[in-house]
Structure 1
Amino acid sequence: MSHSPIRKDKTCLNCRHVVEQNFCPNCGQENTDSRKTFHHLFIHFFEDLTHYENAFWKTIRNLLFKPATLTKEYLSGKRLSYLAPVRLYIFISFITFLMIALFPGESKPIVTSDKNHTKSQKEIPKNIFTGDLSDLKPGAEFDSFTKNVDSIQKFAPKEKKLDGFSYWIIKKVKYVKDHNTKKEIIEKFTESFVHNIPKVLFIIMPFFAFFLWVFHNKRKWYYFDHGIFTLHYFSFLLLMFLILFIIQKLIGLFGEDNPLTFISDIADFVGFIWMSYYFYPAHHRFYGETRWVSFLKSVALFFINSFFILFLLIIYAFYTFLNLH
């Protein structure tokens, strides 16, 4: 509830209706001073998202421990007792971004060495001029190839030279490997992935709802229904990630070798199991199908969405790698 003083003027600023109480009976706008302090705006932001404390905690409790309850309640018309699905997701996303900003990844000095030295053409692997990228073997030979990519473009026969895109990719890979150790690449990628999980989930949501629409009765269920289910399910996933992230970072404040790290490990294990299982009871309770039908559809949807998510993550991983410094 807002604690701002009520305006002396009884005319609603929104619809010009006469207001005798705190809220306009015509449009519902609160009759308070329109000029607010920053403190009020910050508090009002949380109040607007959470409505009242009871509704907020009731929503979070049901979201975490009662799969599909929020979706069924919302679609049945009981909407004032809980946070609206979109506001719920936005609120959790906001807190997630805030926590990530408060607990950034540790920045470590990058140890580099001068790996660039002049090589004669004899030192270039023999298959550089006699084949294409598919001829290369993984490991040391590929490393040697990346180190000599400039020589390839300069001395190799025209038909054996790389195209512009391949050359750019190889140069980028070489730059990343020259300026980062394997451990640093993994750490940077992990940090970037964590920071972008909310964005990745947001991109996936409409596709997730589409697959639900494909698997269910089109006359009984609208895409809107699947969308609300998806919003609640992804809000759960994001909230679980947020909880595990906070636990990990708080325990990490005591050092990497502190005796409390086992709590973080247990939380991660339990959280992963619950996130993996959650979709099945949520699907069964919401769509009301038999357990076996719901189980089979859940498994099918799990693999389809996992494949789709994996495809997006591969693209994302490639993009992230190319943007490492």
Structure 2
Amino acid sequence: MKTQPLREDKHCLNCGTEVPERYCTHCGQENAVPHESFGHLVKHFVGDVLHYDSQFLTTLSHLLFRPGRLTKEYMAGRRVAFVNPIKLYIFVSFVFFLTWAMLSHDSHEKREKHSAQKEAAASEEHDEEELEKLPSVTSILGAVKDSLKNNKELARAVDSLAYRYRYDSSHRYDSALHKALNHDSAIAGEKDSILQNNVELANELDPRKKYADEEAYDSAQAALPKAQRDGWFKRYVTHKWMRVNLGDDRFQETLGEALKHHFPKMMFVLLPLFALWLKLIYNWKRWYYTDHAIFALHVHCFAYTVLLLAYILEKLTGVNSFIGWSVWLIFGYLVLALRNTYHQSFMRSFGKSLLLLLGYGFSFAFVGLFFILIIFAVIL
């Protein structure tokens, strides 16, 4: 393909440095005529794509099959053939969380559909059982026919029993009824007062007893005189309390979506903490914090890749053991990566892997609690 002609002016258009040949020695820009042809644009595009693909494939092969080798190469300054660790992490984490969100959403919809079908089948089965318990039409007609035949005898028996009851126990019945009414009237005022006070107390402690939802509470507050309305803090607490305790499905869905949305951010915050634990475990003078950060990026990229493959395999096969095995694979990879990067024995690397996971677990719990509190403060 034809090369873009050079400019007659030997000063770079980007930085102004004198350009002795085709490319600027200061910024690397080509000192070519700025009006490019379409073929030249296509050439640059294809070259950039193939260059990135070759970098990515080389990086991925080192990352997956040579624990710690990618970090060693980057620390040694041999970086042109590999993707930058931060760019690699952003790309891998984006693919991981996007795929995980899509698959989990599909699984959630399938579970809801299966649950609805199961409930419908159970309801239909229950209806069939109830129908089986009902007497047949023939038996009902026979019972009606028998009752019509014996109707006069039954009526006379009932009248006789009712008359004897009124005659024998009328005085005792009237006396007991009079005492009960007097007793109820004596305590009616106290009972109503207690019930009224309990209702007011329940409404103070639990706004659900008084208002159906937040809109009803706001409407009631707006209807009151300004002096009788709740203060801003009480309104704030009432709204929070009602959102949590009303059992609103929208709140649960919003909370779940917020957790999914903030989980990638939480993992990104954990990266420097992972590197900090490495800094505490290994020699301070020999290794810089940035070296540990690069190692942390590469290990997390490997973990995301393996977990993603395991999750996809579970969805395709229906076997729920791939993620469990992938966790053990990640731990083994961590031990080998520490051994190859920091040049220590296998047993030392194994022990420091356990310490690293212990500290990482503590950091995960702390950061997770922090994000949960933020989510509750924002949503509620």
Query: Which bracket does the TM-score occupy, shorter chain normalised?
Result: 0.5 to 0.7
Offset at residue 274 of structure 1 (A): 2.5
Specify whether residues 242 and 321 from structure 1 end up closer, same or farther in structure 2 by C-alpha distance, changes over 3 A only.
Answer: farther
2:272, 2:336 → 1: CA distance? 21
1:27, 1:239 → 2: CA distance? 35
| Paired position in structure 2 for 1:61 | 61
Letter aligned with residue 196 of structure 1 = H
Give the share of equivalent positions with the same residue, in percent.
28
| Paired position in structure 2 for 1:278 | 333
2:93, 2:35 → 1: CA distance? 28
Determine whether 1:9 maps to 2:7. Answer: yes
2:248, 2:265 → 1: CA distance? 26
| Paired position in structure 1 for 2:374 | 319
Specify whether residues 226 and 124 from structure 1 end up closer, same or farther in structure 2 by C-alpha distance, changes over 3 A only.
Answer: farther
Contact 1:233 1:279 in 2 (8 A): yes
Cα deviation, 1:191-239, whole Å, max 9, x if unaligned, reads 4333333311221222221121111111211212112211212232344
Give the greater-gyration-radius structure (CA): 2
Specify whether residues 225 and 262 from structure 1 end up closer, same or farther in structure 2 by C-alpha distance, changes over 3 A only.
Answer: same
Cα deviation, 1:280-325, whole Å, max 9, x if unaligned, reads 2222221122222222211112111101111111221233344447
1:120, 1:272 → 2: CA distance? 59
Which consecutive unaligned segments of at least 5 residues does structure 2 have? 113-194, 212-216, 218-230
Residue 360 (structure 2) aligned to one of 301, 305, 309? 305
| Paired position in structure 2 for 1:180 | 248
| Paired position in structure 2 for 1:254 | none
Which consecutive unaligned segments of at least 5 residues does structure 1 have? 110-118, 130-143, 152-162, 252-259
Contact 1:63 1:236 in 2 (8 A): yes
1:31, 1:302 → 2: CA distance? 52
| Paired position in structure 2 for 1:262 | 318
| Paired position in structure 2 for 1:205 | 271
Spell out the pairing of 1:139-154 with structure 2 (5 A cutoff). Answer: 145=206, 147=208
Q: Which is helix-richer, 1 or 2?
A: 2
Spell out the pairing of 1:1-325 with structure 2 (5 A cutoff). Answer: 6=4, 8-9=6-7, 11=10, 12-14=12-14, 15-18=16-19, 20-21=21-22, 23-25=23-25, 27-31=27-31, 47=48, 51-96=51-96, 105=105, 121-123=197-199, 145=206, 147=208, 168=236, 171-178=239-246, 180-181=248-249, 185=252, 188-243=254-309, 260-262=316-318, 265-324=320-379
Offset at residue 28 of structure 1 (A): 2.1
2:310, 2:2 → 1: CA distance? 37
Contact 1:100 1:195 in 2 (8 A): no
> What secondary structure is seen at the aligned counterpart in 2 of 1:52?
helix
1:147, 1:315 → 2: CA distance? 29
Counting matched residue pairs gives 271
Offset at residue 74 of structure 1 (A): 0.9
Letter aligned with residue 216 of structure 1 = Y
Contact 1:7 1:32 in 2 (8 A): yes
Specify whether residues 321 and 289 from structure 1 end up closer, same or farther in structure 2 by C-alpha distance, changes over 3 A only.
Answer: same
Cα deviation, 1:5-63, whole Å, max 9, x if unaligned, reads 73552543234434654x445542245676899xx89x96x948x84322211111222
Specify whether residues 18 and 77 from structure 1 end up closer, same or farther in structure 2 by C-alpha distance, changes over 3 A only.
Answer: closer
Query: Structure 1 stretch 298-307 or stretch 312-321: which is displaced more?
Result: 312-321
Contact 2:208 2:246 in 1 (8 A): no
Contact 2:71 2:295 in 1 (8 A): yes
